[in-house]
Amino acid sequence: MKIYKAVKTEEKAKEIINNYVSDNNLTGGYFEKASCQCGCGETQCINWTNSKTGLMVAICCICGDDDAFLNEVINL
pLDDT tens, position by position, 25-40: 999 999 999 999 999 9
Say how many CA atoms lie within 13 Å of 56 toward its Cβ.
17
Tell whether the model's pLDDT for residue 1 goes beyond 70: no
pLDDT at 3: 85
What's the domain count of the chain? 1
Instruction: Indicate whether 48 belongs to any domain.
Output: yes
Instruction: Indicate whether 67 belongs to any domain.
Output: yes
Q: Which residue has the higher pLDDT, 19 or 69?
A: 19
**pLDDT 10s digits, 2-20:** 889 999 999 999 999 999 9
Instruction: Indicate whether 42 belongs to any domain.
Output: yes
Q: Quickly list H helices, the chain.
A: 10-23, 70-73
pLDDT at 2: 85
Instruction: Indicate whether 1 belongs to any domain.
Output: no
Residue 66 is part of which domain span? Answer: 6-73
